[in-house]
Structure 1
Amino acid sequence: MTVQNPIAGTQAKPAMRDFLSLPTWIHAGRIESGGSLSLVEQIIPPGFTSPWHVHQDEDESFFVIAGEITVYVSGRAQIVGAGQFAFGPRAVPHGFRVTGAEPARLLLITTGSGFADFVNAVSDPVADGAAIEPHEPDIARVIAMAERNGLAILGPIPDIAAA
């Protein structure tokens, strides 16, 4: 696939999306990277926990801009704060929890654009200046779209103590 906009910095910030009641921006996906990566930004409240999941075809990286999360990978838990990075390899179950007292601002990067495709498929655009109203996600839709994009939702994160 040919990258339609191969020069970095030429694109305005994307519109906010409502992904699982979280403010989310898809900075790069299939079109911007020729399918080679996803770059998704989220603001996530304290206590939020991702599902335990696995990317079959993509590695996932977490870069914390602000706040603190605990990342769970392969039976280990690691606290990751602002300016720090964690890695979840493909085919290895993982997840994260916002463990700090403030919201976390994350960049989620995958080596393939399936994650951005998934986020786009299960999120809705948010009008400029509008707030996201908390709501329960359509779990059947989330699971179906995850499977379509090479992810499997495995359930809640297992009880693993942080290092």
Structure 2
Amino acid sequence: MSMLYLAQPEQQQVLEWLDGGTLTMLLDGKATDGQLMMGRFHVQKGEAPPYHKHLYEDEIFMLVKGTALVWHDDQEYELNEGGVVFLPRNVAHGYRITSDEADLLVINTPAGIEGMFRETGRDTREPRPEGFQVKPNPEVAERYGNVVIGPPR
């Protein structure tokens, strides 16, 4: 049974993410009874995950601010501020931020992939270990059904 979930910004977990960006966890499987995960990335120019596919969930993202290139099944597209992309499971995809900075809202359904984000990133409320860097880890990704196909594009 789903219930109302409300979290003010100060209650939302913020993870250090790739290339010095952040991922704010807005909703996770615990809050949505496993139905979806929603997060907001704040990233800089050049941020790009490895080319990958999801085995378990579909992904939707909206570029709230900025511009990006998006690859879906080896086709390249430009995404402008306010643009939305639907990425079905089992289809290879990736993106690269082309503006100086960007805000990206992401929704994965069903939930579960947030475990990979939490294992890969670092909760910014915790002390930062010396020399810590967020790096994609194909073994962690694979545990959550996120298959790395190749390097970022």
Range into which the TM-score falls when normalised by the shorter chain: 0.7 to 0.9
SS state at 1:50 partner: coil
Q: Is the CA contact (8 Å cut-off) linking 1:30 and 1:117 kept in structure 2?
A: no
1:78 Cα deviation from its structure 2 partner: 1.2
Identify the residue that residue 125 of structure 1 maps to in structure 2: 123
User: What TM-score do the two structures reach when normalised by structure 2?
Assistant: 0.86
- The 2-side partners of 1:49 and 1:55 are apart by 16
User: What TM-score do the two structures reach when normalised by structure 1?
Assistant: 0.81
- The 2-side partners of 1:137 and 1:64 are apart by 22
Q: Which consecutive unaligned segments of at least 5 residues does structure 2 have?
A: none
Q: Is the CA contact (8 Å cut-off) linking 1:28 and 1:116 kept in structure 2?
A: no
Identify the residue that residue 137 of structure 1 maps to in structure 2: 134
Distance 1:119 1:42, change over 3 A: same
Give, as a single letter, the amino acid of the residue that structure 1 aligns with 2:43: I
1:54 Cα deviation from its structure 2 partner: 0.6
Identify the residue that residue 36 of structure 1 maps to in structure 2: 35
Q: Which consecutive unaligned segments of at least 5 residues does structure 1 have?
A: 159-163
Alpha carbon RMSD of aligned pairs, Å? 2.3
- The 2-side partners of 1:30 and 1:134 are apart by 31
Distance 1:134 1:73, change over 3 A: farther
- The 2-side partners of 1:53 and 1:78 are apart by 16
- In the alignment of these two chains, the number of paired residues is 149
1:103 Cα deviation from its structure 2 partner: 0.4
Structure 1 runs of 4+ aligned residues shifted over 3 Å read 133-139
Q: Does 1:154 align with 2:153?
A: no
